[in-house]
């Protein structure tokens, strides 16, 4: 699923494809915002991790799971 992370004082957002569920991402955001975790950590599909300090987290947009379409069809 696509996850967009906004960071304060950064001109661009971070966009990654994560294999984590929406609930796992939301739980990580909750922990970062309530102060129980000092960093927001998210892993992408290739095993790379994105770590953002909790005090710099502006927003997190959790997208739907994208199904891969194969072939030619009407859009």
Over residues 60-69, the mean pLDDT reads 75
Q: Which pair of structure tokens corresponds to residue 42?
A: 């998210």
Buried b or exposed e, range 17-56, using 16+ CB within 10 angstroms: ebebeeeebeebbebbeeeeeeebebeeeeeeebebebee
Per residue in 4-14, pLDDT tens?
999 999 999 99
- Please state the rounded mean pLDDT for residues 65-72: 64
Mean of pLDDT values over 47-74 = 82
Q: pLDDT at position 68, please?
A: 61
pLDDT digits (tens, 9 = 90+) for 25-59: 999 999 999 988 899 999 988 889 999 999 999 99
Instruction: Supply 7's token pair.
Output: 């960071």
Q: Is domain 2-62 given the CATH code 2.30.30 in the classification? A: yes
Q: Is the pLDDT of residue 75 over 90?
A: no
Q: What is the pLDDT of residue 73?
A: 64
């Amino acid at each position: 699923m696509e996850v967009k992370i906004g960071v304060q004082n950064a001109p661009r957002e971070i966009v990654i494809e994560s294999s984590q569920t929406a609930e796992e991402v939301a739980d990580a955001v909750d922990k970062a915002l309530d102060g129980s975790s000092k960093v927001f950590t998210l892993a992408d599909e290739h095993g790379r991790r994105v770590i953002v300090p909790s005090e710099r987290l502006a927003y997190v947009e959790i997208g739907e799971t994208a199904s891969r379409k194969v072939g030619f069809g009407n859009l």
